[in-house]
């Protein structure tokens, strides 16, 4: 799957000139030394995971109706344990934006994540896009989710990430709803042009919204006057690791801001069932380089400093 071309995804045309090498990832022991060859940036960044099953992504929404989710085999526990042990090995505490639907079914797992020192935050109940909800429906969704997450984790939940970064210029009322329902920060606007989400001219860094909620966008770099995603997800899997590292270093040097990185548990699950009946482009985005993801994440954890959202941005959202 490394023969990508610039026609696959219009969101990353500039960085896609070099296909990923197929067998050049160094072993874990080696890259610790490689990282030492260049001083690690002192900036602490936010490492985030959107906790959902392999069949709950928006790209598959039309293939598997929500009422059938309960009948599909869960693959979450195994991949979550791999993520937790990776973080433990590198001494990193992260933020897990978790669906209420997951909290209902995997309460013990989410409790364990919290007990390991990670932050539990909200990703909404069942991955409905904000653009499909009324303010009242979102209010019910985030109250239900926050209540569930606090019950299972034993933590106060103050963060929210909209499913699929689905905040548009028409749904900026979400910040009023989030403020009214006890949230303090959001990581829901991707300041890029993309076919499914994003507000290209939104601020690139943490900023307060009118209701007092601090919006903390995933990381972008500016190339040729355009914001490009440099924050994880499909782009991180698709591109050679060195480009992602260079993008974060460039952003650090130019902007001096923490990076906000995100991925999903299913992105390290190379054995997940393959969805049929979806466009080739969707399939490519979902399945590219799954088997290399864990090694790439490990390099990222070694090459930069990481922490939880509520700690990294404590000075802006009021601290813990």
Kindly list the residues in this chain that would bind Zn ion in the complex (CB under 5 A).
50, 163
Separation of alpha carbons 223 and 262, rounded Å? 21
**Shortest approach of Zn ion to residue 103 CB, angstroms?**
14
CB-nearest residue to Zn ion: 50
Identify which of residues 50 and 126 has a Cβ nearer to Zn ion in the complex: 50
**Shortest approach of Zn ion to residue 99 CB, angstroms?**
8
**Shortest approach of Zn ion to residue 143 CB, angstroms?**
19
**Shortest approach of Zn ion to residue 259 CB, angstroms?**
19
* Ramachandran category for residue 156: left, alpha or beta (phi over 0 → left; psi -120 to 50 → alpha): beta
Identify which of residues 50 and 303 has a Cβ nearer to Zn ion in the complex: 50
Identify which of residues 163 and 307 has a Cβ nearer to Zn ion in the complex: 163
**Shortest approach of Zn ion to residue 161 CB, angstroms?**
7
Identify which of residues 125 and 304 has a Cβ nearer to Zn ion in the complex: 125
Separation of alpha carbons 57 and 233, rounded Å? 12
**Shortest approach of Zn ion to residue 260 CB, angstroms?**
15
Identify which of residues 20 and 163 has a Cβ nearer to Zn ion in the complex: 163
Separation of alpha carbons 301 and 245, rounded Å? 11
Identify which of residues 163 and 234 has a Cβ nearer to Zn ion in the complex: 163
């Amino acid at each position: 799957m490394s023969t990508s071309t610039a026609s696959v995804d219009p969101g990353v045309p500039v960085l896609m000139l070099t296909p990923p090498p197929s067998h050049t990832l160094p072993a874990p022991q080696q890259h610790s030394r490689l990282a030492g060859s260049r001083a690690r940036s002192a900036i602490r960044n936010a490492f985030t995971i959107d906790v959902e099953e392999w069949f709950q992504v928006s790209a598959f929404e039309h293939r598997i109706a929500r009422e059938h989710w309960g009948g599909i085999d869960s693959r979450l526990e195994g991949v979550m344990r791999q993520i937790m042990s990776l973080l433990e090995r590198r001494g990193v505490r992260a933020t897990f934006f978790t669906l209420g639907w997951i909290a209902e079914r995997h309460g013990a797992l989410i409790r364990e994540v919290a007990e390991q020192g990670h932050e539990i935050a909200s990703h909404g109940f069942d991955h409905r896009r904000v653009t499909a909800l009324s303010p009242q429906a979102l209010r019910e969704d985030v109250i239900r989710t926050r209540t569930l997450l606090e019950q299972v984790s034993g933590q106060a939940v103050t963060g929210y990430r909209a499913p699929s970064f689905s905040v548009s210029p028409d749904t900026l009322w979400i910040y009023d709803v989030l403020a009214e329902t006890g949230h303090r920060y959001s990581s829901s606007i991707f300041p890029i042009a993309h076919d499914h989400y994003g507000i290209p001219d939104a601020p690139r860094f943490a900023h307060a919204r009118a209701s007092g909620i601090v919006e903390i966008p995933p990381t972008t770099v500016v190339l040729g006057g355009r914001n490009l995603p440099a924050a994880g997800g499909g782009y991180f899997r698709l591109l050679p690791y060195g480009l992602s590292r260079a993008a974060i270093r460039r952003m650090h040097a130019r902007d001096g801001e923490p990076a906000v990185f995100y991925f999903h548990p299913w992105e390290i699950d190379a054995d997940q069932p393959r969805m049929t009946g979806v466009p080739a482009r969707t399939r490519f985005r979902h399945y590219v380089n799954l088997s290399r993801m864990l090694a790439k994440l490990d390099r990222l954890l070694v090459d930069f400093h990481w922490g939880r959202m509520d700690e990294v941005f404590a000075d802006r959202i009021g601290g813990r």
